[in-house]
Structure 1
Amino acid sequence: MIHVHHLEKSRSHRILWLLETLELDYEVIVYQRDASTQQAPAALKDVHPLGKSPVITDGELTIAESGAIIDYLLQRYGQGRCQPDSDNTHDWVDYRYWLHYAEGSLMPLLVMQLVFGQLPKRSPWFVKPITQGITRTVNNTFLHPQIKQHLRFIDDYLASHGHFAGPWPSGADIQMSFPLQAVAATQSLTPYPAIARFIERIEADLAWQRVVERAGPLSMPGS
């Protein structure tokens, strides 16, 4: 039996989505964030030394990191589902690219934006003007232009391809779901209609709806 160690307001919803898509049996073990620090509880370190989520256990195996989990589940249980055709090299290159791009390129920017957004809120009153100024400068000169560039790149790709790797949803789409849902939670997607359509397809997907019924709606750290 697969066990998903699911931290609220985390990236593990997409692992549940893959499990539902593959129609696999699994159990969810829910962890709550600390109300004051928003960090994962120490109990998660009993599962994996870093105490992060998502992490799954399957028998004696413990697998952490979203991309590694997706790779494992598809190799072990996928039977060709949620993957490009084996003979389509172009789609496989796209699949690998987006599977790694989500956490390697896009998420660091979004996490940095979250951290700087929290900085003024968590600063003592007498330094708030300073931290607000730092946050504003970092956002205006670096983060916002970089994120905008990435979103335009993603939107252009989806506009011409529909999905991230081939003609149907794949593990790459599942991996990309969280960062794009995180963006949608913080800003309008009017400038990015293809991304908006991608998220609409997620929300209409029956497997995703089963995830929401079982684990609750996706919410974001800091919300």
Structure 2
Amino acid sequence: MPPLKVHHLQYSQSERIPWLLHELALTNQPIPYELIIHRRAPYFSPPALVALHPMKAAPVLEDGPLILAESGAIIEYVLDTHAPSSTLKLRPNQPGYTNYLFWFHWANANLQPCIMRCVTLVRTGLPDSHPAKVGVVERLHTALAFLDAHLREDGVEWLAGPEGGFSAADIMMVFL
């Protein structure tokens, strides 16, 4: 089987994929891959990366003829097809599965958009008292307090909970 090709753009969600592959190697499930690093030009994806996928962003995974984008989709694909016995993906019959499932998706579906709305409104120069800015900042504080409360629960060191352990949900939460 030829190695996977991981197209990586530094300082982005693309960081998740090399980290996942590193963790798999640490758990004796190494997956051969070639890491292709693309440099920003100067802020956005360079032409070579843009040509790979219509979304013009990293990460992009090549597995033979398959070209797949989106870090969450790539993580699920790699774990399902190349490391199906990995403990980094919890299955429905495992303790911690619902925590794993929720936090895996919460990173991109809730926290990241919340952070981006906050950053955008801060950069508009609106006064801190503007209702739109107040609402977005409150939502971000609520989201971070929610995450913090989960991690402060007794025995919770990782997002999947004490029974789930370190998982791909933890990898998804980094590099928003």
What's the TM-score bracket when you normalise by the shorter of the two chains? 0.7 to 0.9
Letter in 1 for 2:159: F
Gaps of 5+ in 2: 26-30
- Scaled by the length of structure 2, what TM-score is found? 0.82
Letter in 2 for 1:25: P
Matches within 5 A, 1:1-223: 1-23=3-25, 24-35=31-42, 38-78=43-83, 79-84=85-90, 87-88=93-94, 91-117=96-122, 119=123, 131-133=124-126, 137=130, 140-160=133-153, 161-165=156-160, 166-179=163-176
**How far apart are the structure 2 equivalents of 1:136 and 1:54?**
38
| 1:132 partner amino acid | G
Change (3 A) 1:92 1:50: same
**Higher-helix-fraction structure:** 1
Unmatched tracts of structure 1, length 5 or more: 120-130, 180-223
What amino acid is the match of 2:171? Answer: I
Q: Structure 2 CA distance, aligned partners of 1:34 and 1:139?
A: 33
**In angstroms, what is the RMSD of aligned CA positions?**
2.2
Q: Shift in Å at residue 58 of structure 1?
A: 1.2
Q: How many residues align?
A: 164
TM-score normalized by the length of structure 1: 0.66
| 1:135/1:13 CA distance change after superposition, 3 Å | farther
**Is the Cα contact below 8 Å between 2:13 and 2:175 reproduced in 1?**
yes
Alpha-carbon contact 2:126-2:133 (below 8 Å) kept = no
Asked if the contact 1:116–1:135 (Cα under 8 Å) also holds between the matched residues in 2, the reply is: no
Instruction: Work out the CA distance in 1 between the residues paired with 2:102 and 2:135.
Output: 24
Secondary structure of residue in 1 paired with 2:11: coil
What secondary structure is seen at the aligned counterpart in 2 of 1:178?
A: coil
User: Once the 2 structures are TM-superposed, how far is the Cα of residue 108 of structure 1 from its aligned partner?
Assistant: 0.6
Q: Deviations over 1:14-44 (max 9, x none)?
A: 1111001112222121222233xx2222322
Task: Work out whether residues 24 and 86 of structure 2, in 8 Å CA contact, stay in contact via their aligned partners in 1.
Answer: no
Contact 2:118/2:136, CA 8 A, preserved across alignment: yes
8 Å Cα contact 2:19-2:171 kept in structure 1: yes
**Alpha-carbon spacing, 1:113–1:48, altered in 2? closer, same or farther (3 Å):** same
